[in-house]
Structure 1
Amino acid sequence: MLSLQFSLPPFENRRSRSKSKLASPNLHDRSCSCRNVMHFLPSISLPKSRIFATAADVVVEEKKRNESVIGPGAPVKKEIFPAGLRRESMPKHVAVVMDGNVRWARKRGLPPGSGHEAGVRSLRELIELCCKWEIRVLTVFAFSSDNWFRPKVEVDFLMSLFEKGIKEELENFVRENIRISVIGDSSKLPKSLQKLITDTEEITKNNSGLQLIVAASYSGQYDIVQACQSIAHKVKDGVIQPEDINKSLIEQELETNCTEFPYPDLLIRTSGELRVSNFLLWQLAYTELFFARSLWPDFGEADFVEALHSYQQRQRHYGGRDP
């Protein structure tokens, strides 16, 4: 779904992007700041020269845009919490289907990779906002099990980018107190990447800031199937009886057992598509859904605030009625 360094033209319709990029929030009350964290999620295949040759252009362009807004060296007003949002009603777990990167690029006459790089920048901003606003878990759909049907050369390139990015950003994860968890059918990943993921999860497991769950080679249907298989083996081995099987037991066998908050409070999907695309099917049973029309690279702070406002205006009954 996502990629690494690609050259971007001046951004359009980024809405609140420049404002959020300029802020340098005081996060001493929160144990992670999440700046410059996300460079590791992969995307489509492009020659390496297109990936790394113009990475500096992106930084220069963003700096020019920022200075045109407030002027170089101008003081930045710090905003810790948006007006209108209730801190006590913030979701603990937000899940995101990041959709629309390729369409974003096509609209601008750019190669698909440019859209995925813009999507990485949106994800980095979202991580920072989740930390700043004390959201505990962010789960992102990075690579679907269906993506394995792409051409082999493309998949191999994606895996190499994934591995390279984790190696480069591991120090940042530790410093920013971010806990990394990866869910999905890891048996399909390259052996070296499997080991790197295991090491990264082990190194960051005691971090107490934002937990970033990356769904790679993930399928909601597969998640339920593997949970059933695990339970079936326990019944066969006499560890449990069939009548012991209940909702709680299944929850313990799902891959989201890596977090204290396995059920997302809010699911956001971008690009106007109205489906969940085989993502966290069991876990979304009572999740509030928000479908944004913005393509993922255009999804910024204003869009996230809109989604959170919508979430906070809803009453969650879990099958019950108003008192």
Structure 2
Amino acid sequence: MARDIQDDRPATGPKHVAIIMDGNGRWAQNRGRPRLFGHHAGARRVREIVEACPDLGVKYVTIFAFSTENWKRTQTEVAGLMKLFHRYITREARDLFDEGVRVRFIGDRVKLDEKLVSLMDELELLTSGNSRVNLTIALNYGGRDELTRAAKRLAYEIEAGRLTHKDVDAETLAKFLDTHVLPDPDLVIRTSGEARISNFLLWQSAYAEYEFIDTLWPDFTAEVFAGLVQNYGARDRRFGAVKA
């Protein structure tokens, strides 16, 4: 499934770029504004990056919007982020549809409020026929949580007799991941100067190239994005093999 999609990627540029959008809070604080001001600025930046994808040959872009660990933030910030997600989906739905963007959400929806989940479902359905750009939004997502949920679903299939332990391999497990219909990311970008992956796409990024840059997410322009995509083409990707 996912492997077949990945094999179609272009030889020189990344087909799938995943982004850890970090630095919104610091960007706002540097300007003497509350952290939520930065989150709103960061949300506006998403559109610019998505619009830049077709010209760069990027077919899939996955953004880390809210992690399973982000619930530990202050109640004010979490509530503000949830309102922002409501507003973003409501305001951007028509434009995303008109621009040919297909939107998917990954992550555990159980902890999210019913209205937000309903908006997510509606946006996925509205854009399900689009294919110009595939935008995946990781919301209440964590790599370990995803793997745990996948293992539980796999165990259920074994208990139900539809699979046996002999059927379990990497390809089988991948079919139970949130991203089972997506190719693995070729390039993962993290903004804001932090050099860690923060529990993001742990399984899928096993062979991804990484870029850790100092730019704070609200300052991450289409030009910066294009430069990183172009840099990717110069990398020697051997996937464990030795170059002949």
Q: Normalising by the residue count of structure 1, what TM-score does the alignment of the two structures yield? A: 0.69
State the secondary structure of the residue aligned to 2:105. Answer: strand
Percent identity, aligned pairs only? 40
More off after superposition, 120-129 vs 285-294 = 120-129
What's the counterpart of residue 40 of structure 1?
none
Q: What is the CA deviation profile of residues 136-172 of structure 1, one whole-angstrom value per residue up to 9, with x for unaligned ones?
A: 1100000011111233344333223322331232222
State the secondary structure of the residue aligned to 2:69. Answer: helix
User: Is the aligned partner of 1:314 residue 2:244?
Assistant: no
Residues 152 and 272 of structure 1: CA distance in aligned 2, closer, same or farther (over 3 Å): closer
What's the counterpart of residue 292 of structure 1?
213
Q: CA deviation at 1:301?
A: 2.9
Q: CA deviation at 1:103?
A: 1.5
How far apart, CA to CA, are the structure 1 residues paired with 2:127 and 2:227? 31
User: Is the aligned partner of 1:264 residue 2:180?
Assistant: no
Equivalent of 1:100 in 23, 28, 40: 23
Q: CA deviation at 1:104?
A: 1.6
How far apart, CA to CA, are the structure 1 residues paired with 2:72 and 2:167? 38
How far apart, CA to CA, are the structure 1 residues paired with 2:216 and 2:186? 22
How far apart, CA to CA, are the structure 2 residues paired with 1:134 and 1:178? 14
State the secondary structure of the residue aligned to 2:130. Answer: coil
Gaps of 5+ in 2: 1-9
Equivalent of 2:139 in 201, 216, 221: 216
Residues 194 and 281 of structure 1: CA distance in aligned 2, closer, same or farther (over 3 Å): same
State the secondary structure of the residue aligned to 2:100. Answer: coil
The correspondence of residues 81-120 of structure 1 with structure 2, limited to 5 A, is 89-120=12-43
1:277 maps to amino acid: S
Gaps of 5+ in 1: 1-86
Q: CA deviation at 1:88?
A: 5.4
Moved over 6 A (4+): none
Q: Does structure 2 retain, via aligned residues, the 8 Å contact 1:292–1:303?
A: no
What's the counterpart of residue 123 of structure 1?
46
Equivalent of 2:170 in 247, 251, 256: 247
Q: What is the CA deviation profile of residues 248-292 of structure 1, one whole-angstrom value per residue up to 9, with x for unaligned ones?
A: 111111101132x2x100000011111000000000100000111
How far apart, CA to CA, are the structure 1 residues paired with 2:104 and 2:56? 20
The correspondence of residues 1-323 of structure 1 with structure 2, limited to 5 A, is 89-259=12-182, 261=183, 263-323=184-244
Q: Normalising by the residue count of structure 2, what TM-score does the alignment of the two structures yield? A: 0.90
How far apart, CA to CA, are the structure 2 residues paired with 1:134 and 1:315? 19
State the secondary structure of the residue aligned to 1:127. Answer: helix
How far apart, CA to CA, are the structure 1 residues paired with 2:188 and 2:150? 22
Higher RCO by CA contacts (8 Å cutoff, separation 6 or greater)? 2
Residues 89 and 117 of structure 1: CA distance in aligned 2, closer, same or farther (over 3 Å): same
Q: Alpha carbon RMSD of aligned pairs, Å?
A: 1.6
1:220 maps to amino acid: G
Residues 173 and 121 of structure 1: CA distance in aligned 2, closer, same or farther (over 3 Å): closer
Q: What is the CA deviation profile of residues 64-113 of structure 1, one whole-angstrom value per residue up to 9, with x for unaligned ones?
A: xxxxxxxxxxxxxxxxxxxxxxx851211000001111212222222223
How far apart, CA to CA, are the structure 2 residues paired with 1:161 and 1:149? 18
Q: Does structure 1 retain, via aligned residues, the 8 Å contact 2:39–2:81?
A: no
More off after superposition, 165-174 vs 130-139 = 165-174
Q: CA deviation at 1:116?
A: 2.2
Q: Does structure 2 retain, via aligned residues, the 8 Å contact 1:181–1:258?
A: no
Q: Greater strand share, 1 or 2?
A: 2
Residues 143 and 129 of structure 1: CA distance in aligned 2, closer, same or farther (over 3 Å): same
